[in-house]
Amino acid sequence: MASLYLLLLGIILLPLLLLLVLAFLAWPTPVKLQLKGRHVLISGGSSGIGLAMARQAASEGAHVSILARNPAKLEAAREAIGQATGSDVSILSVDVQDFDSVSKAIQDAGPIDVLVANHGVYFSQELEFQDLQEIKFQVEVNLMGTFHLIKAALPGMKQNAKNTNLPASIAIMSSQSGQVGIYGFGAYSATKYALRGLAEALRHEVVLDNIYVSLIFPPGTETPGFAEEIKRRSEVTNMIASSGCMKADEVAEKALNGIKCGTFIVPCNFKGVMLAIATAGLYPQNSCVGAFVEVIGAGFMRFVGLCFQWKWFGIIEKYHAQRNGS
Ligand SMILES: NC(=O)C1=CN([C@@H]2O[C@H](COP(=O)(O)OP(=O)(O)OC[C@H]3O[C@@H](n4cnc5c(N)ncnc54)[C@H](OP(=O)(O)O)[C@@H]3O)[C@@H](O)[C@H]2O)C=CC1
Ligand SMILES: CCCCCCCCCCCCCCCC(=O)[C@@H](N)CO
């Protein structure tokens, strides 16, 4: 009987103790960052996820600037957001590959509270067949473009956070392709994995400036860019990556919620939560409950991850056999 009590005590006490330790380790604690009246600048804000974020931020009373290349698409987005929210967004027609233009546009846009580096390009193809040009283009836009934006905005954001004494945020749009590499996404995945390293290091560098960093990991999402990308997908890529598509508005809502809480890792659906646990590594974590789930779930999610890999290798094998058979 006594040992039963001891066992029960252990089952209840040990997790509580762990939670207590994690409450101490999870730092800095979640923040409340309100968008109302703040300046939110979103790259790639003229289409898809960026456009949905721009619309939602505007409807929460933020002053929104959207940055992208095509002026006609920017103008159309401005019109659409104006009609939906009554808010007048500023538009910046810039290619993120060109640092000088990015820098100038950011200067002109004025102090930024929330920077969302969301722009991105993606083309799936086996590495063996993908043009070097297309590989470089994805690196230049997704990775270098993000460096350009952050480099251009950071000094002003630091100063602004100091002046306003309000929390600020830099959000970076990764992808589930930045958590697991799959068939056909070699180049794209590399750019999205790279953003993780950047975000983790940046988190250290701005933590004392009251600037939060969020890294967002959407699954396949219904957007104009996605509609183009799937046309070119190989069958294998399609079978592995077709894990439930989200709507741009749903992803935007998850992303903005993450930003408003200062969450570092922002998954967008259930598989995303599993991926976040499986790949938690040394991510900073500001929620003790989140940390608890990661510590407890790590081993099990490793197992689930291996099950997925087993399934994926099976798909590749089957496809290979079919191709060689026909
Ligand atoms: N849709 C999906 O399935 C997923 C998307 N993501 C990521 O989310 C982000 C947005 O994707 P999504 O909404 O689908 O994309 P879209 O293709 O619908 O929109 C991309 C946006 O980025 C802008 N953009 C592209 N290249 C540049 C450039 N060189 N300089 C400035 N702006 C640029 C585009 O405008 P313009 O062409 O006028 O420059 C457009 O506003 C990307 O980073 C993507 O990798 C992540 C996971 C899944
Ligand atoms: C441990 C549990 C594991 C759970 C497995 C989850 C399955 C992951 C599938 C990855 C799909 C990646 C889609 C990205 C699409 C994208 O980024 C677009 N831009 C391109 O289409």
Residue nearest to atom 9 of ligand 2 (CA): 241
Atom of ligand 2 nearest to the CA of 180: 10
Is the minimum distance from the CB of 54 to ligand 2 under 6 angstroms? Answer: no
* The pLDDT value given to residue 1: 67
What length is written for the chain?
Answer: 326
Q: Is 174 a catalytic residue?
A: yes
Write out the two tokens for 161.
């956070």
State which of 221, 226, 270, 308 you would mutate to test the pocket of ligand 2, scoring each by most atoms of that ligand within 8 A of its C-beta: 308
The interface predicted TM-score (ipTM) is 0.99
Q: Is omega for the bond preceding 111 within 30 degrees of 0, making it cis? A: no
CA distance 285 to 279: 13
Name which of 117, 105, 107 is nearest 50 in CA terms.
Answer: 117
In order along the chain (326 residues), what is the average pLDDT of each group of 10 residues? 83 92 91 97 98 98 98 98 98 98 98 98 98 98 98 98 97 98 98 98 98 98 97 95 90 98 97 97 95 97 98 96 81
* The pLDDT value given to residue 138: 98
Residue carrying the six token digits 């991105």:
120
Q: What share of the chain is helix, strand, coil (3-state, %, to 5)?
A: 60, 10, 25
State which of 119, 143, 231, 242 you would mutate to test the pocket of ligand 1, scoring each by most atoms of that ligand within 8 A of its C-beta: 119
Considering every ligand atom, which ligand is closest to the CA of 120?
Answer: 1
Atom of ligand 2 nearest to the CA of 241: 11
CA distance 173 to 116: 8
Residue carrying the six token digits 């991850």:
305
Residue nearest to atom 16 of ligand 2 (CA): 220
* The pLDDT value given to residue 43: 99
* The pLDDT value given to residue 64: 98
Write out the two tokens for 256.
């903005």
Let me know the angle formed at the C-alpha of 266 by 262 and 267, rounded to the nearest 5 degrees: 160
Give phi and psi for 38, each to the nearest 5: -95, 160
| Single-letter code of the amino acid located at 159 | Q
* The pLDDT value given to residue 243: 67
Instruction: Say if residues 224 and 47 touch (Cβ distance below 8 Å).
Output: yes
CA distance 146 to 215: 12
Considering every ligand atom, which ligand is closest to the CA of 277?
Answer: 2
Residue 91 β-bridge partners: 66
* The pLDDT value given to residue 170: 98
pTM of the model: 0.97
Is the minimum distance from the CB of 267 to ligand 1 under 6 angstroms? Answer: no
Is the minimum distance from the CB of 141 to ligand 2 under 6 angstroms? Answer: no
CA of 147 from ligand 2 middle (Å) equals 24
CA distance 243 to 271: 8
Atom of ligand 2 nearest to the CA of 185: 20
Considering every ligand atom, which ligand is closest to the CA of 181?
Answer: 2
